[in-house]
Structure 1
Amino acid sequence: MKILLLHTVVASATLAVAAHAQGVTGDAKAGESKAAMCIGCHGIPGYQNSFPEIHKVPMISGQSAGYISAALQAYRKGDRKHPTMRGIAGSLSDQDIADLAAFYSGHNAGVTAPAQPRAASAAVAALLEKGACASCHGANFSQPIDPSYPKIAGQHADYLYVALKSYAVQGNPHIGRANPIMGGIVQQFSLSELKQLANYLATVQGELATKPQPRFR
Protein backbone atom coordinates (compact mmCIF):
# COMPACT_ATOMS: atom_id res chain seq x y z
CA MET A 1 0.00 0.00 0.00
CA LYS A 2 2.87 2.38 0.83
CA ILE A 3 4.52 1.75 -2.55
CA LEU A 4 1.22 2.19 -4.38
CA LEU A 5 0.59 5.48 -2.59
CA LEU A 6 4.09 6.69 -3.44
CA HIS A 7 3.64 5.98 -7.13
CA THR A 8 0.19 7.59 -7.10
CA VAL A 9 1.63 10.80 -5.67
CA VAL A 10 4.55 10.66 -8.13
CA ALA A 11 2.15 10.28 -11.05
CA SER A 12 0.05 13.19 -9.83
CA ALA A 13 3.11 15.41 -9.44
CA THR A 14 4.33 14.50 -12.90
CA LEU A 15 0.98 15.33 -14.49
CA ALA A 16 0.83 18.63 -12.63
CA VAL A 17 4.29 19.69 -13.84
CA ALA A 18 3.53 18.54 -17.37
CA ALA A 19 0.24 20.42 -17.42
CA HIS A 20 1.85 23.60 -16.13
CA ALA A 21 4.65 23.44 -18.70
CA GLN A 22 2.41 22.54 -21.62
CA GLY A 23 2.98 24.82 -24.58
CA VAL A 24 6.08 26.47 -23.04
CA THR A 25 9.35 25.50 -24.70
CA GLY A 26 12.57 26.66 -23.11
CA ASP A 27 15.29 28.40 -25.09
CA ALA A 28 18.77 27.94 -23.62
CA LYS A 29 20.19 30.99 -25.37
CA ALA A 30 17.39 33.15 -24.05
CA GLY A 31 17.94 31.61 -20.62
CA GLU A 32 21.59 32.62 -20.68
CA SER A 33 20.59 36.23 -21.23
CA LYS A 34 18.11 36.02 -18.33
CA ALA A 35 20.52 34.43 -15.83
CA ALA A 36 22.01 37.71 -14.57
CA MET A 37 19.89 37.51 -11.41
CA CYS A 38 21.13 33.95 -10.80
CA ILE A 39 24.89 34.22 -11.26
CA GLY A 40 25.40 36.39 -8.17
CA CYS A 41 24.80 33.29 -6.04
CA HIS A 42 24.78 30.23 -8.26
CA GLY A 43 27.69 31.34 -10.44
CA ILE A 44 30.27 31.76 -7.67
CA PRO A 45 32.03 28.56 -6.51
CA GLY A 46 31.74 28.12 -2.75
CA TYR A 47 29.34 31.03 -2.32
CA GLN A 48 27.37 30.79 0.94
CA ASN A 49 23.85 31.75 1.88
CA SER A 50 23.01 32.80 5.44
CA PHE A 51 19.31 31.86 5.43
CA PRO A 52 17.98 30.01 7.32
CA GLU A 53 21.51 29.10 8.39
CA ILE A 54 24.90 29.39 6.71
CA HIS A 55 25.25 26.92 3.86
CA LYS A 56 26.58 26.81 0.31
CA VAL A 57 24.05 27.70 -2.36
CA PRO A 58 23.12 24.64 -4.41
CA MET A 59 24.83 23.72 -7.64
CA ILE A 60 22.27 23.99 -10.43
CA SER A 61 24.36 23.65 -13.59
CA GLY A 62 23.58 20.15 -14.85
CA GLN A 63 20.27 19.76 -13.01
CA SER A 64 17.38 18.57 -15.15
CA ALA A 65 15.17 21.18 -16.77
CA GLY A 66 12.12 19.58 -15.18
CA TYR A 67 13.51 19.98 -11.67
CA ILE A 68 14.68 23.56 -12.15
CA SER A 69 11.29 24.47 -13.55
CA ALA A 70 9.41 22.71 -10.74
CA ALA A 71 11.60 24.32 -8.07
CA LEU A 72 11.13 27.84 -9.44
CA GLN A 73 7.39 27.28 -9.74
CA ALA A 74 7.31 26.08 -6.12
CA TYR A 75 9.18 29.19 -4.93
CA ARG A 76 6.83 31.39 -6.95
CA LYS A 77 3.77 29.66 -5.52
CA GLY A 78 5.12 29.65 -1.97
CA ASP A 79 5.34 25.88 -1.57
CA ARG A 80 9.04 26.46 -1.04
CA LYS A 81 9.62 29.24 1.46
CA HIS A 82 12.72 31.36 0.97
CA PRO A 83 12.40 35.17 0.90
CA THR A 84 15.06 35.77 -1.76
CA MET A 85 14.03 32.93 -4.05
CA ARG A 86 10.35 33.81 -3.64
CA GLY A 87 11.07 37.34 -4.78
CA ILE A 88 13.13 36.20 -7.76
CA ALA A 89 10.72 33.47 -8.85
CA GLY A 90 7.80 35.85 -8.45
CA SER A 91 9.33 38.12 -11.07
CA LEU A 92 9.57 35.31 -13.65
CA SER A 93 7.03 34.37 -16.28
CA ASP A 94 6.44 30.77 -17.34
CA GLN A 95 8.60 31.46 -20.39
CA ASP A 96 11.41 32.89 -18.22
CA ILE A 97 11.36 29.76 -16.05
CA ALA A 98 11.42 27.47 -19.08
CA ASP A 99 14.33 29.41 -20.61
CA LEU A 100 16.39 29.37 -17.41
CA ALA A 101 15.68 25.66 -16.95
CA ALA A 102 16.85 24.95 -20.51
CA PHE A 103 20.02 26.98 -19.97
CA TYR A 104 21.07 25.46 -16.65
CA SER A 105 20.16 21.89 -17.59
CA GLY A 106 22.66 22.05 -20.46
CA HIS A 107 25.22 24.14 -18.62
CA ASN A 108 27.32 21.14 -17.58
CA ALA A 109 26.75 19.11 -20.75
CA GLY A 110 28.93 16.07 -21.34
CA VAL A 111 29.26 15.12 -17.67
CA THR A 112 27.72 11.75 -16.82
CA ALA A 113 27.61 10.20 -13.37
CA PRO A 114 28.89 6.63 -12.94
CA ALA A 115 26.20 3.96 -12.99
CA GLN A 116 27.15 2.86 -9.48
CA PRO A 117 27.71 5.36 -6.65
CA ARG A 118 30.52 5.36 -4.14
CA ALA A 119 29.86 2.64 -1.58
CA ALA A 120 28.18 3.82 1.60
CA SER A 121 29.00 2.61 5.10
CA ALA A 122 26.69 -0.04 6.52
CA ALA A 123 25.00 2.58 8.72
CA VAL A 124 24.39 5.01 5.86
CA ALA A 125 23.31 2.21 3.51
CA ALA A 126 20.65 1.29 6.05
CA LEU A 127 19.45 4.91 6.16
CA LEU A 128 19.30 5.08 2.36
CA GLU A 129 17.26 1.89 2.32
CA LYS A 130 14.95 3.17 5.03
CA GLY A 131 14.27 6.35 3.08
CA ALA A 132 14.01 4.51 -0.26
CA CYS A 133 16.23 7.27 -1.67
CA ALA A 134 17.36 5.35 -4.77
CA SER A 135 13.77 4.48 -5.72
CA CYS A 136 13.13 8.15 -6.50
CA HIS A 137 16.55 9.66 -7.19
CA GLY A 138 18.03 6.71 -9.08
CA ALA A 139 20.58 4.06 -8.17
CA ASN A 140 23.42 6.56 -8.66
CA PHE A 141 21.35 9.48 -7.29
CA SER A 142 21.68 11.27 -10.64
CA GLN A 143 18.83 9.59 -12.53
CA PRO A 144 15.57 10.54 -10.77
CA ILE A 145 12.48 8.64 -11.87
CA ASP A 146 10.48 11.85 -12.28
CA PRO A 147 11.72 14.92 -14.19
CA SER A 148 10.65 17.20 -11.35
CA TYR A 149 12.92 15.41 -8.85
CA PRO A 150 16.49 16.64 -8.33
CA LYS A 151 19.80 15.01 -8.99
CA ILE A 152 21.40 14.91 -5.55
CA ALA A 153 24.72 13.12 -6.10
CA GLY A 154 27.62 15.45 -5.38
CA GLN A 155 25.43 18.30 -4.14
CA HIS A 156 26.83 20.36 -1.24
CA ALA A 157 26.38 18.51 2.05
CA ASP A 158 25.37 21.57 4.05
CA TYR A 159 22.75 22.55 1.47
CA LEU A 160 21.33 19.01 1.36
CA TYR A 161 21.09 18.99 5.15
CA VAL A 162 19.21 22.33 5.21
CA ALA A 163 16.94 21.19 2.38
CA LEU A 164 16.11 17.88 4.08
CA LYS A 165 15.30 19.61 7.36
CA SER A 166 13.03 22.10 5.60
CA TYR A 167 10.63 19.34 4.52
CA ALA A 168 9.81 18.66 8.17
CA VAL A 169 8.99 22.28 9.01
CA GLN A 170 5.31 23.05 9.43
CA GLY A 171 3.47 26.31 10.08
CA ASN A 172 6.50 28.59 9.62
CA PRO A 173 5.81 31.48 7.23
CA HIS A 174 9.48 31.88 6.28
CA ILE A 175 10.99 28.38 6.26
CA GLY A 176 9.80 25.05 4.91
CA ARG A 177 8.94 23.06 1.81
CA ALA A 178 5.55 21.56 1.08
CA ASN A 179 6.09 18.12 -0.43
CA PRO A 180 3.98 15.16 0.72
CA ILE A 181 6.58 12.54 -0.22
CA MET A 182 9.64 14.19 1.29
CA GLY A 183 7.66 15.43 4.28
CA GLY A 184 6.80 11.86 5.22
CA ILE A 185 10.29 10.53 4.55
CA VAL A 186 12.33 13.02 6.59
CA GLN A 187 10.16 12.55 9.65
CA GLN A 188 11.58 9.04 9.93
CA PHE A 189 15.04 10.40 10.68
CA SER A 190 16.81 12.28 13.43
CA LEU A 191 18.84 15.39 12.57
CA SER A 192 22.01 13.37 13.02
CA GLU A 193 20.79 10.80 10.51
CA LEU A 194 19.81 13.49 8.01
CA LYS A 195 23.32 14.92 8.31
CA GLN A 196 24.82 11.48 7.68
CA LEU A 197 22.74 11.11 4.53
CA ALA A 198 23.72 14.59 3.32
CA ASN A 199 27.41 14.00 4.01
CA TYR A 200 27.40 10.74 2.08
CA LEU A 201 25.48 12.06 -0.94
CA ALA A 202 27.92 14.96 -1.22
CA THR A 203 30.77 12.46 -1.75
CA VAL A 204 29.04 10.65 -4.62
CA GLN A 205 30.25 11.61 -8.08
CA GLY A 206 27.44 13.36 -9.89
CA GLU A 207 26.59 15.69 -12.76
CA LEU A 208 26.24 19.00 -10.93
CA ALA A 209 28.60 21.95 -10.97
CA THR A 210 28.94 25.64 -10.25
CA LYS A 211 29.87 27.36 -13.50
CA PRO A 212 31.18 30.92 -13.21
CA GLN A 213 29.69 33.26 -15.80
CA PRO A 214 30.74 36.66 -17.09
CA ARG A 215 28.94 39.51 -15.39
CA PHE A 216 29.45 41.91 -18.25
CA ARG A 217 28.05 40.81 -21.59
Structure 2
Amino acid sequence: MNKLTTTVFAFAVSSVTALALSGGAMAQEVKGDIKAGQGKIDMCIGCHGIPGYQTAFPEVYKVPKISGQGAAYIASALNAYKTGTRRHPSMRGIAESLSEQDIADVAAFYAAHGVHDGASLPEQPSNKPSAQVEALLQKGACVSCHGTNFAKPIDPSYPKIAGQYADYLFVALKSYKAGAGHGPVGRDNGVMAPLVKQFSNAELKAIAGYLQTLDGGLQTLPERPFR
Protein backbone atom coordinates (compact mmCIF):
# COMPACT_ATOMS: atom_id res chain seq x y z
CA MET A 1 0.00 0.00 0.00
CA ASN A 2 1.12 3.56 -0.65
CA LYS A 3 0.86 6.19 2.06
CA LEU A 4 -2.59 7.34 0.99
CA THR A 5 -4.15 3.88 0.83
CA THR A 6 -2.58 2.93 4.16
CA THR A 7 -4.03 6.05 5.78
CA VAL A 8 -7.46 5.53 4.22
CA PHE A 9 -7.53 1.87 5.22
CA ALA A 10 -6.72 2.81 8.81
CA PHE A 11 -9.53 5.37 8.65
CA ALA A 12 -11.91 2.71 7.30
CA VAL A 13 -11.11 0.33 10.16
CA SER A 14 -11.59 3.07 12.75
CA SER A 15 -14.85 4.14 11.09
CA VAL A 16 -16.21 0.61 11.21
CA THR A 17 -15.32 0.39 14.90
CA ALA A 18 -16.95 3.72 15.65
CA LEU A 19 -20.07 2.72 13.75
CA ALA A 20 -20.40 -0.48 15.71
CA LEU A 21 -20.04 1.40 18.98
CA SER A 22 -22.46 4.21 18.18
CA GLY A 23 -24.98 4.56 15.36
CA GLY A 24 -24.39 1.05 14.08
CA ALA A 25 -25.44 -0.46 17.38
CA MET A 26 -28.69 1.53 17.25
CA ALA A 27 -29.34 0.44 13.67
CA GLN A 28 -28.99 -3.20 14.68
CA GLU A 29 -31.98 -2.81 17.01
CA VAL A 30 -34.26 -2.48 13.98
CA LYS A 31 -34.56 -6.03 12.70
CA GLY A 32 -35.64 -6.47 9.11
CA ASP A 33 -38.46 -8.82 8.22
CA ILE A 34 -38.11 -10.59 4.87
CA LYS A 35 -41.84 -11.22 4.39
CA ALA A 36 -42.71 -7.65 5.31
CA GLY A 37 -40.04 -6.42 2.93
CA GLN A 38 -41.62 -8.27 0.03
CA GLY A 39 -44.70 -6.13 0.48
CA LYS A 40 -42.69 -2.89 0.43
CA ILE A 41 -40.71 -3.17 -2.80
CA ASP A 42 -43.26 -1.89 -5.31
CA MET A 43 -41.14 1.24 -5.87
CA CYS A 44 -38.03 -0.93 -6.39
CA ILE A 45 -39.12 -3.57 -8.88
CA GLY A 46 -39.72 -1.13 -11.75
CA CYS A 47 -35.93 -0.74 -12.06
CA HIS A 48 -34.22 -3.37 -9.90
CA GLY A 49 -36.61 -6.16 -10.92
CA ILE A 50 -35.87 -5.96 -14.65
CA PRO A 51 -32.66 -7.70 -15.79
CA GLY A 52 -30.46 -5.30 -17.74
CA TYR A 53 -32.74 -2.31 -17.14
CA GLN A 54 -30.99 0.96 -17.97
CA THR A 55 -31.46 4.46 -16.63
CA ALA A 56 -30.54 7.53 -18.64
CA PHE A 57 -29.67 9.87 -15.77
CA PRO A 58 -27.09 11.33 -15.58
CA GLU A 59 -25.85 8.99 -18.31
CA VAL A 60 -26.99 5.65 -19.67
CA TYR A 61 -26.06 2.74 -17.40
CA LYS A 62 -27.64 -0.38 -15.95
CA VAL A 63 -29.19 -0.05 -12.52
CA PRO A 64 -27.29 -2.22 -10.02
CA LYS A 65 -28.04 -5.82 -9.17
CA ILE A 66 -29.24 -5.85 -5.56
CA SER A 67 -30.63 -9.35 -5.06
CA GLY A 68 -28.11 -11.13 -2.82
CA GLN A 69 -26.44 -7.87 -1.75
CA GLY A 70 -25.75 -7.51 1.98
CA ALA A 71 -28.65 -6.17 4.07
CA ALA A 72 -26.46 -3.80 6.05
CA TYR A 73 -25.09 -2.29 2.85
CA ILE A 74 -28.55 -1.86 1.30
CA ALA A 75 -29.77 -0.16 4.48
CA SER A 76 -26.67 2.04 4.55
CA ALA A 77 -27.17 3.07 0.92
CA LEU A 78 -30.85 3.90 1.41
CA ASN A 79 -30.05 5.96 4.49
CA ALA A 80 -27.35 7.78 2.52
CA TYR A 81 -29.87 8.66 -0.19
CA LYS A 82 -32.33 9.72 2.51
CA THR A 83 -29.86 12.09 4.20
CA GLY A 84 -28.36 13.39 0.96
CA THR A 85 -24.83 12.05 1.35
CA ARG A 86 -25.67 10.19 -1.83
CA ARG A 87 -27.32 12.46 -4.33
CA HIS A 88 -29.73 10.99 -6.84
CA PRO A 89 -33.15 12.62 -7.28
CA SER A 90 -35.28 9.51 -7.79
CA MET A 91 -33.49 7.43 -5.18
CA ARG A 92 -33.69 10.21 -2.62
CA GLY A 93 -37.42 10.59 -3.25
CA ILE A 94 -37.92 6.88 -2.64
CA ALA A 95 -35.65 6.72 0.40
CA GLU A 96 -37.32 9.73 2.04
CA SER A 97 -40.65 7.90 1.91
CA LEU A 98 -39.29 4.94 3.89
CA SER A 99 -39.25 4.61 7.66
CA GLU A 100 -36.33 3.05 9.50
CA GLN A 101 -38.34 -0.18 9.73
CA ASP A 102 -39.22 -0.04 6.03
CA ILE A 103 -35.53 0.27 5.13
CA ALA A 104 -34.63 -2.67 7.36
CA ASP A 105 -37.40 -4.82 5.84
CA VAL A 106 -36.52 -3.98 2.22
CA ALA A 107 -32.84 -4.62 2.93
CA ALA A 108 -33.61 -7.98 4.54
CA PHE A 109 -35.75 -9.00 1.57
CA TYR A 110 -33.15 -8.21 -1.08
CA ALA A 111 -30.35 -9.78 0.95
CA ALA A 112 -32.28 -13.07 0.93
CA HIS A 113 -33.73 -12.68 -2.58
CA GLY A 114 -31.77 -15.08 -4.72
CA VAL A 115 -29.22 -15.41 -1.95
CA HIS A 116 -25.89 -16.92 -2.96
CA ASP A 117 -24.08 -19.20 -0.56
CA GLY A 118 -20.97 -17.18 0.19
CA ALA A 119 -19.13 -20.27 1.41
CA SER A 120 -19.19 -21.67 -2.13
CA LEU A 121 -17.45 -18.66 -3.61
CA PRO A 122 -13.72 -19.00 -4.27
CA GLU A 123 -11.32 -17.32 -1.88
CA GLN A 124 -9.52 -15.80 -4.84
CA PRO A 125 -11.05 -14.68 -8.15
CA SER A 126 -10.78 -17.40 -10.78
CA ASN A 127 -10.46 -14.72 -13.45
CA LYS A 128 -7.13 -13.02 -12.92
CA PRO A 129 -6.80 -9.33 -13.80
CA SER A 130 -4.38 -7.97 -16.33
CA ALA A 131 -1.12 -6.58 -14.99
CA GLN A 132 -2.48 -3.06 -15.46
CA VAL A 133 -5.70 -3.71 -13.52
CA GLU A 134 -3.84 -5.67 -10.84
CA ALA A 135 -1.64 -2.62 -10.25
CA LEU A 136 -4.71 -0.37 -10.02
CA LEU A 137 -6.42 -2.70 -7.52
CA GLN A 138 -3.29 -2.73 -5.38
CA LYS A 139 -3.00 1.05 -5.56
CA GLY A 140 -6.57 1.38 -4.32
CA ALA A 141 -6.19 -1.39 -1.73
CA CYS A 142 -9.61 -2.62 -2.88
CA VAL A 143 -9.32 -6.05 -1.25
CA SER A 144 -8.80 -4.38 2.14
CA CYS A 145 -12.51 -3.52 2.28
CA HIS A 146 -14.24 -5.67 -0.32
CA GLY A 147 -12.41 -8.96 0.33
CA THR A 148 -9.92 -10.87 -1.75
CA ASN A 149 -12.65 -12.07 -4.12
CA PHE A 150 -14.58 -8.78 -3.92
CA ALA A 151 -17.67 -10.67 -2.73
CA LYS A 152 -16.93 -10.99 1.00
CA PRO A 153 -16.46 -7.46 2.37
CA ILE A 154 -14.72 -7.04 5.72
CA ASP A 155 -17.75 -5.19 7.11
CA PRO A 156 -21.39 -5.93 6.24
CA SER A 157 -22.06 -2.25 5.52
CA TYR A 158 -19.63 -2.43 2.59
CA PRO A 159 -20.94 -3.71 -0.77
CA LYS A 160 -20.25 -6.89 -2.63
CA ILE A 161 -18.92 -5.68 -5.98
CA ALA A 162 -17.90 -8.88 -7.79
CA GLY A 163 -20.15 -9.43 -10.79
CA GLN A 164 -21.82 -6.02 -10.55
CA TYR A 165 -22.54 -4.22 -13.81
CA ALA A 166 -19.43 -2.42 -15.01
CA ASP A 167 -21.26 0.68 -16.22
CA TYR A 168 -22.98 1.09 -12.84
CA LEU A 169 -19.69 0.63 -10.98
CA PHE A 170 -18.05 3.22 -13.21
CA VAL A 171 -20.81 5.77 -12.52
CA ALA A 172 -20.66 5.02 -8.77
CA LEU A 173 -16.88 5.47 -8.67
CA LYS A 174 -17.15 8.78 -10.53
CA SER A 175 -19.84 9.87 -8.05
CA TYR A 176 -17.45 9.29 -5.13
CA LYS A 177 -14.83 11.22 -7.06
CA ALA A 178 -17.21 14.18 -7.48
CA GLY A 179 -18.59 14.17 -3.93
CA ALA A 180 -22.15 14.99 -2.86
CA GLY A 181 -21.52 18.72 -3.14
CA HIS A 182 -21.00 18.56 -6.90
CA GLY A 183 -23.82 17.71 -9.25
CA PRO A 184 -27.07 15.78 -8.78
CA VAL A 185 -25.53 12.33 -8.34
CA GLY A 186 -22.43 12.82 -6.18
CA ARG A 187 -21.59 10.77 -3.09
CA ASP A 188 -19.80 11.72 0.11
CA ASN A 189 -17.71 8.97 1.65
CA GLY A 190 -14.59 9.51 3.73
CA VAL A 191 -13.09 6.20 2.63
CA MET A 192 -13.93 6.06 -1.06
CA ALA A 193 -13.47 9.72 -2.02
CA PRO A 194 -9.68 9.99 -1.49
CA LEU A 195 -9.10 6.56 -3.01
CA VAL A 196 -10.90 7.17 -6.30
CA LYS A 197 -9.33 10.61 -6.72
CA GLN A 198 -6.03 8.81 -7.34
CA PHE A 199 -7.37 7.46 -10.62
CA SER A 200 -8.28 8.80 -14.01
CA ASN A 201 -11.74 7.97 -15.34
CA ALA A 202 -10.14 5.57 -17.81
CA GLU A 203 -8.51 3.71 -14.92
CA LEU A 204 -11.79 3.58 -12.98
CA LYS A 205 -13.48 2.17 -16.08
CA ALA A 206 -10.82 -0.54 -16.35
CA ILE A 207 -11.34 -1.53 -12.69
CA ALA A 208 -15.12 -1.65 -13.17
CA GLY A 209 -14.79 -3.75 -16.31
CA TYR A 210 -12.71 -6.34 -14.50
CA LEU A 211 -15.01 -6.55 -11.46
CA GLN A 212 -18.00 -7.29 -13.71
CA THR A 213 -16.32 -10.50 -14.91
CA LEU A 214 -16.16 -12.02 -11.41
CA ASP A 215 -18.63 -14.38 -9.75
CA GLY A 216 -20.12 -12.72 -6.71
CA GLY A 217 -23.66 -14.06 -6.60
CA LEU A 218 -25.38 -10.72 -7.26
CA GLN A 219 -28.48 -11.05 -9.40
CA THR A 220 -31.43 -9.18 -10.83
CA LEU A 221 -34.43 -11.41 -10.29
CA PRO A 222 -37.76 -10.38 -11.83
CA GLU A 223 -40.65 -9.79 -9.45
CA ARG A 224 -44.29 -10.10 -10.36
CA PRO A 225 -45.57 -6.51 -10.73
CA PHE A 226 -48.92 -7.48 -9.20
CA ARG A 227 -49.02 -9.71 -6.14
> Residue 52 of structure 1 aligns to a residue in which SS?
coil
CA offset digits 1:118-164 (Å, max 9, x no partner): 21111100000000000100000000011110000000000000000
Say if 1:17 and 1:146 are closer, same or farther in 2 by CA, change over 3 A. Answer: farther
SS in 2 for 1:183: helix
Q: In 2 relative to 1, CA 152–77 (structure 1 residues): closer, same or farther, beyond 3 Å? A: same
Preserved CA contact (<8 Å) 1:17 1:148 = no
The answer for the alignment partner of 2:138 in structure 1 is 129
Alignment of 1:181 with 2:191, yes or no, is yes
Structure 1 position 20, deviation (Å) = 4.2
Residues 174, 14 of structure 1: CA spacing in aligned structure 2 closer, same or farther, 3 A cutoff?
farther
Which SS does the other structure have where 1:63 is aligned? coil
How far apart, in 1, do the equivalents of 2:176 and 2:22 lie? 20
Matched letter for residue 98 of structure 1: A
Q: Is the 8 A contact 2:35 2:109 kept in 1?
A: yes
Cα drift, residue 173 of structure 1: 4.8
CA distance in 1, matches of 2:48, 2:111: 13
- Percent identity of equivalent pairs: 58
Partner residue, 1:116: 124
The answer for unaligned runs of 5 or more in structure 2 is 1-5
C-alpha RMSD of the superposition? 1.4
* Corresponding position of 2:158: 149
In structure 1, C-alpha distance between the alignment counterparts of 2:56 and 2:21, rounded to whole Å? 34
Q: 1:92 aligns with which of 82, 85, 98?
A: 98
| Number of aligned residues | 217
Q: Larger deviation: 149-158 or 21-30?
A: 21-30
* Change over 3 Å in CA distance of 1:184–1:10 after alignment to 2: farther
Q: How far has the Cα of 1:13 moved from its partner?
A: 4.0
CA-CA distance at 1:109 after TM superposition:
2.0
**Equivalent position SS for 1:140:** coil
- The partner residue of 1:207 within 208, 217, 227 is 217
| Residues in 1 aligned to 2:48 and 2:89: alpha-carbon distance in whole angstroms | 16
CA contact (8 A) 1:67 1:148 kept: yes
Alignment of 1:59-78 (within 5 A): 59-78=65-84
Q: What amino acid is the match of 2:31?
A: T
TM-aligned CA deviation for residue 19 of structure 1: 3.3
- Deviation, structure 1 residue 168: 1.1
Question: In the alignment, residue 87 of structure 1 is paired with which amino acid?
Answer: G
Specify the alignment match of 1:25 in structure 2: 31
Q: Give yes or no for contact 1:14–1:146 (8 Å, CA) kept in 2.
A: no
Aligned 8 A contact 2:11 2:191 in 1: no
